[in-house]
Amino acid sequence: MLQIRNLSFSVDSQGQEKEILRDISLEIPDGKLFVITGPNGGGKSTLAKLIAGIEKPTSGQILFNGTDITDMSITDRAKMGIAFAFQQPVRFKGIQVADLIRLAAGKELTISEACAYLSQVGLCAKDYIHREVNASLSGGELKRIEIASVLARKSLLTLFDEPEAGIDLWSFNNLIEVFRAQREEISDRSILIISHQERILNIADEIVVLENGSLKQKGDKEKVLPGLIGTPSAVANCQGIRSK
């Protein structure tokens, strides 16, 4: 279980303190798929980075399975079972896709086993398994390879920061199916997705709405989603996903 207690985060902006998150308290139990949504600039990605350890809170506490991880490094959090998928995946010149998936799994995998993860995200394994994770790959390809590596890791808590960003419609449809499948397999794990997309919100167990750095709403999908549908400031539609 992830527990967030009175979490706040501020940055220095031209000599003045700018508050990004204010007094956020939240619990994410095991076996749940949570989606955090809300207007742009509401603090969603910042919260994900605080959980992952990329940023440090100004005040408050983060606990994971009863352990205070507030001051832990990204590496130590990863060892505890927290994985983070970036909005813009990192490129690794000189590292092949097969190596990246093996590193994520933390063990030796056969080519067949590594290919199985690529197949889950809709990539033809034989075309990608020996390619480098570099600029030759498109944004959508990188996104799916990153998700394949996250699946291989089998983390206790997986964070996805706007996984739909920069991908085409086919990739987006496939992404939804990946999350649906994961949703059926997470009895002892949790998934937290930052997203505006209605179709991702629709597969959530619970939805959290952040606005202006504060927790505006939290509850079951059936309770929260109807109030968000048709509200442009809270939920974007699929127009941002290319149709090609």
Kindly report the CA angle at 61 between 55 and 66, in degrees rounded to 5? 115
Give the whole-number percent of the chain exceeding pLDDT 70.
Answer: 91
pLDDT in tens, 18-73: 999 999 999 999 999 999 999 988 999 999 999 999 999 999 999 999 999 999 99
Residue 231's pLDDT band, with cuts at 50, 70 and 90, is: low
User: Does 196 or 88 have the greater pLDDT score?
Assistant: 196
> Are the beta carbons of 93 and 132 closer than 8 angstroms?
yes
Per DSSP, the chain holds a count of helices (H) and strands (E) of 9, 12
Cα separations in angstroms, 229 against 45, 139, 162: 21, 28, 18
Give mean pLDDT, residues 189-208. 92
pLDDT given for residue 212 in this prediction: 93
pTM of the model: 0.83
Q: Which helix (H) or strand (E) holds 5?
A: strand 2-13
Residue 180, helix vs strand vs coil = helix
pLDDT in tens, 132-165: 887 788 777 887 888 888 888 888 999 998 888 7
pLDDT given for residue 239 in this prediction: 42
User: Does 182 or 234 have the greater pLDDT score?
Assistant: 182
pLDDT given for residue 230 in this prediction: 61
pLDDT given for residue 122 in this prediction: 76
